[in-house]
């Protein structure tokens, strides 16, 4: 299957069962390129949005991995598992959820909102001495992971059908929803685990327009769902420049700030376009723009 030379993104609605790597492998075969990556793993039992970067579009990953993510999550109270999800072994059970009130649940959720510290699940891809923690956990080793700072931007109760909660979550990249479910169960005094998860958005990208895994084999579906590199970086500030300055950037040279059509930029990455095509991502260096990553080949 022919893909645009500049590469781009595809939004895929992952089903339950396959790993994120399995989806990448399918995409590589279907699209005829080994250059396929993603911007954030979904566990095998989870469904929803997987953002694939294809061809030269894999060079966009560093600008996308930090985007916030949205989820619909189901939490089963009263059952704690080794993996904090339905795939693990049951560690403990409790009937204390039968006494919970909606007000107590809302108070528990409030404690998890905002900028907090979270300990990742021991069955996770977090590295310990270069090895993923889940390998050590499966060998029965004691796994101690360092807490990390996360930001839970929204955590809303959609439904309480005892013993299960339906939640809507918006959080920073690196947040484990499994760990949120575990911590909520601990705060409520019942224990709990994540029983279902669906990712609904990554940054401004949602499930609208996402294709199925089967549609990766369909050239028309891929064409309809294709996102250009320029559109993929729409969350960053952008400026327009002329062809001569575009050529300089393509050669790795800095250009004067005055060459840009807009000076409304901070100190972070800025997308540079020429005739709506992505030329480079730059950073301000005094009164000049320094190329951080060049996407348009020098001619």
Indicate if 73 and 137 belong to the same structural domain.
yes
Alpha-carbon distance 133 to 61, whole Å?
Answer: 24
Indicate if 74 and 193 belong to the same structural domain.
yes
Is residue 162 in some structural domain?
yes
Q: pLDDT (tens digit, 9 = 90+) per residue, 113-135?
A: 999 999 888 766 666 656 556 66
Is residue 2 in some structural domain?
no
For the segment 135-163, the average pLDDT, to the nearest whole number, is 83
Is residue 243 in some structural domain?
yes
Indicate if 22 and 101 belong to the same structural domain.
no
Q: Virtual CA dihedral for 103, 107, 112, 116, nearest 10 degrees?
A: 170
**Range in 21-25, 123-127, 239-243 with the lowest mean pLDDT:** 123-127
What is the per-residue pLDDT for 147?
A: 86
Indicate if 38 and 154 belong to the same structural domain.
no
What is the per-residue pLDDT for 119?
A: 87
Q: Which domain holds residue 186?
A: 69-197
Indicate if 136 and 252 belong to the same structural domain.
no
Question: Looking at residue 23, which CATH number applies to its domain?
Answer: 3.30.2350.10
What is the per-residue pLDDT for 267?
A: 73
Whether the pLDDT of residue 262 is over 60: the answer is no
Angle (CA) 241 242 244, round 5°: 125
Is residue 254 in some structural domain?
yes
Position with higher pLDDT, 221 vs 144: 221
Q: pLDDT (tens digit, 9 = 90+) per residue, 273-289?
A: 998 899 999 998 888 88
- Sole residue written with tokens 């907090």: 116
Domain count, the chain: 3
To the nearest whole percent, how much of the chain has pLDDT over 70?
88
**Range in 106-110, 245-249, 256-260 with the lowest mean pLDDT:** 256-260
Alpha-carbon distance 171 to 194, whole Å?
Answer: 16
Indicate if 47 and 86 belong to the same structural domain.
no
Distances from the Cα of 203 to the Cαs of 40, 109, 290, 296, in angstroms?
A: 12, 23, 26, 25
Mean pLDDT of the chain: 90
Whether the Cβ atoms of residue 178 and residue 168 lie closer than 8 Å to each other:
no
Is residue 3 in some structural domain?
no
Indicate if 47 and 74 belong to the same structural domain.
no
Is residue 1 in some structural domain?
no
Indicate if 27 and 91 belong to the same structural domain.
no
Is residue 46 in some structural domain?
yes
Indicate if 184 and 269 belong to the same structural domain.
no
Is residue 299 in some structural domain?
no
Catalytic residue numbers, as ranges: 43
**Range in 97-106, 146-155, 258-267 with the lowest mean pLDDT:** 258-267
């Amino acid at each position: 299957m022919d893909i645009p030379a500049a590469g781009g993104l595809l939004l895929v609605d992952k089903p339950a069962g396959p790993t994120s790597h399995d989806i990448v492998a399918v995409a590589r075969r279907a699209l005829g390129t080994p250059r396929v990556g993603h911007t954030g793993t979904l566990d095998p039992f989870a469904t929803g949005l997987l953002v694939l970067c294809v061809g030269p579009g894999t060079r966009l990953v560093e600008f996308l991995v930090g985007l916030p993510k949205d989820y619909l999550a189901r939490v089963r109270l009263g059952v704690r598992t080794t993996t904090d999800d339905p795939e693990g072994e049951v560690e403990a059970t409790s009937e204390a959820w039968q006494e919970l009130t909606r007000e107590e649940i809302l108070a528990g959720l409030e404690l998890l909102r905002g900028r907090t510290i979270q300990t990742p699940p021991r069955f996770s891809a977090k590295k310990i001495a270069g090895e993923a923690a889940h390998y050590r956990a499966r060998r029965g080793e004691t796994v101690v992971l360092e807490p990390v700072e996360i930001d839970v931007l929204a955590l809303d109760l959609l439904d309480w059908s005892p013993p299960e909660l339906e939640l809507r979550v918006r959080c920073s990249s690196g947040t484990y929803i499994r760990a949120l479910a575990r911590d909520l169960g601990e705060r409520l005094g019942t224990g709990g685990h994540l029983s279902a998860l669906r990712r609904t958005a990554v940054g401004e990208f949602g499930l609208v327009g996402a294709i199925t895994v089967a549609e990766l084999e369909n050239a028309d579906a891929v064409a309809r769902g294709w996102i250009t590199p320029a559109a993929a970086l729409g969350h960053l500030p952008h400026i327009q420049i002329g062809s001569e300055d575009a050529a300089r950037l393509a050669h790795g040279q800095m250009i004067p700030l005055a060459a840009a059509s807009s000076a409304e930029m901070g100190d972070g990455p800025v997308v540079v376009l020429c005739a709506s095509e992505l030329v480079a991502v730059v950073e301000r260096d005094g009164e000049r723009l320094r190329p951080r990553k060049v996407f348009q080949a020098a001619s």
